[in-house]
């Protein structure tokens, strides 16, 4: 799994280098996959980037006085606060995470115990380190031969939507969803104005 993550990050960074500014963006990754029939979420972070964002998020806490255990607890609490996974209209929370840090990199594995065995639609909002203007989070879902991968950032509001079929994962365009939301809001405002003029 560690080799798969490394290859994924290298390929994704190569893709990003042609689509972002010359400044190296803050980049994290998460791979969702099944291990012995149970869904897992494997996060990988750069320590330098994540430390800056955590310090900003927990601005009232002096990180110099924290033990490793206390720091890890804040780290996991932060990730959970930024993680919103909805599968077939059911919220799927993260379990308590297993954290490992080495070589200026932090890996955290969460179990997704409530992830349905069979599902149709999935919506994820993952605003990890969105405190950084240039944050990019590489996301990959693997189920058998089916793979879905994308990059979450400010352009897509750190959200993804896709549909699960027998043979593939099909992305539901965020722009289309936003268009529908705007349409309903516009209709609602028009009705309100019509009612006020009666």
Residue from 79, 28, 29 nearest 57 by CA: 79
pLDDT band at residue 132 using 50, 70 and 90 as cut-offs: confident
Most confident of 93-102, 117-126, 127-136: 117-126
pLDDT band at residue 1 using 50, 70 and 90 as cut-offs: low
Specify the pairing of strand 27-35 against strand 98-102: unpaired
Domain assignments of the chain as residue spans, ordered by start: 2-173
Instruction: Read off the pLDDT of each residue in 144-165 and give the average, rounded to a whole number.
Output: 93
With contact defined as beta carbons under 8 Å apart, do 31 and 8 qualify?
Answer: yes
> Which H or E run includes 8?
helix 2-17
Q: Is the pLDDT of residue 20 over 70?
A: no
Q: Write down the pLDDT at residue 26.
A: 75
Instruction: Read off the pLDDT of each residue in 37-49 and give the average, rounded to a whole number.
Output: 90
Instruction: Read off the pLDDT of each residue in 61-80 and give the average, rounded to a whole number.
Output: 93
String of b and e for 128-160 (b: at least 16 CB within 10 Å)? bbbebeebbbbbbbbeeeeebbbbbbeebebbb
Instruction: Read off the pLDDT of each residue in 140-148 and give the average, rounded to a whole number.
Output: 94
Q: Write down the pLDDT at residue 195.
A: 52
With contact defined as beta carbons under 8 Å apart, do 128 and 28 qualify?
Answer: yes
With contact defined as beta carbons under 8 Å apart, do 122 and 162 qualify?
Answer: yes
Q: Write down the pLDDT at residue 185.
A: 47
Between CA 176 and CA 20 the distance in angstroms is: 24
The mean of the pLDDT values for the chain is: 80
Comparing 131 with 66, the larger pLDDT belongs to 66
Between CA 57 and CA 78 the distance in angstroms is: 8
Q: Write down the pLDDT at residue 186.
A: 53
Specify the pairing of strand 146-152 against strand 136-143: antiparallel
pLDDT band at residue 151 using 50, 70 and 90 as cut-offs: very high
């Amino acid at each position: 799994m560690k080799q798969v993550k490394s290859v994924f990050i290298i390929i994704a960074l190569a893709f990003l280098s042609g689509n972002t500014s010359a400044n190296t963006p803050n980049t994290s990754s998460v791979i969702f996959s099944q291990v012995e029939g149970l869904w897992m979420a494997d996060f990988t972070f750069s320590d330098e980037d994540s430390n800056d964002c955590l310090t900003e998020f927990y601005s009232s806490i002096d990180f110099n006085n924290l033990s490793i255990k206390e720091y890890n607890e804040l780290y996991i609490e932060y990730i959970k606060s930024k993680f919103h996974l909805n599968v077939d209209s059911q919220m799927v929370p993260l379990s308590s995470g297993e954290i490992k840090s080495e070589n200026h990199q932090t890996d955290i594995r969460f179990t997704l115990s409530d992830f349905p065995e069979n599902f149709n639609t999935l919506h994820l909002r993952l605003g990890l380190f969105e405190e950084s203007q240039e944050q990019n989070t590489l996301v990959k879902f693997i189920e058998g031969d089916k793979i879905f991968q994308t990059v979450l950032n400010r352009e897509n509001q750190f959200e993804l939507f896709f549909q699960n079929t027998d043979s593939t994962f099909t992305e539901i365009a965020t722009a289309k969803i936003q268009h529908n939301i705007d349409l309903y809001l516009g209709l609602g405002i028009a009705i309100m104005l019509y009612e006020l003029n009666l």
